[in-house]
Amino acid sequence: MHDALVALRNAATPPEVFRRMAVRISLLLAAEATRDLPSEAITVKTPLAAADGKRVAADVVVVPVLRAGLGMLDAVLELIPAARVGHIGLQRDEITAVASQYYAKLPRGLEESVVLMIDPMLATGGSAVAALDLLKRAGARDVRLICIVAAPEGVALVERSHPRVRIYTPAIDRELNAHKFIVPGLGDFGDRLYGTV
């Protein structure tokens, strides 16, 4: 996990390696966030005998927050291929850092689902709270937020606004700078993922 995080933080990491590291760390975080999902017993036949096993018995919905969250989606689907996917598009204003919504498409019936909201950066927390508000209005009750780097301000805002949401992150960094970027952070995740710097 931490080797991938260091590669993501390193300003010299090119987009192709950045994408690979984002997938690697997302897979590990998603495994952590889904550790307690309900499962059911199954039996399969190996070439030699019957073998008992388990499979996930929950409706899982993955919700990437566009655009940067898309860099984590393939990893989560690798782990839970049957998951349904919703999308929420949010854009932080470059001057005010206030997030505004430009897109949302969510699957129906979120009440009984385990929702994995994926957004690599939790900075002021404004985007996360806007997305969580939307998910709550759509009926979601069990929401887990997976992010790669968080700031103390963002964690505090989410905990205050949505105390039942569990946050999974490998790093809570020092602070936000004057432009509301996480320090030390890793820069603009979406720009580094897609080479739009």
Active site residues: 92, 96, 188, 191
CA 143 – CA 167 distance, rounded (Å): 9
Taken as a whole, the chain contains a residue count of 197
Asked if 36 and 168 touch (Cβ cutoff 8 Å), the reply is: no
The full DSSP string for 2-50 is: HHHHHHHH-TT--HHHHHHHHHHHHHHHHHHHTTT--EEEEEEE-SSSE
Site map 56..75 versus ligand PRP, x via CB under 6 A: ---------xxxx-------
Closest CB to ligand URA among residues 168, 189: 189
> Which 154-173 positions form the footprint of ligand PRP (CB under 6 A)?
154
With H, G, I as helix, E, B as strand and everything else as coil, classify residue 99.
strand
Q: How many CB atoms lie within 10 A of CB 108?
A: 11
CB of 138 to ligand PRP, least distance (A): 18
CB of 196 to ligand URA, least distance (A): 11
Closest CB to ligand URA among residues 34, 127: 127
Residues that bind ligand URA (CB under 6 A): 68, 121, 123, 181-182, 185, 188-190
Q: Which residues bind ligand PRP (CB under 6 A)?
A: 65-68, 90-92, 97, 99, 119-128, 154, 180, 189-190
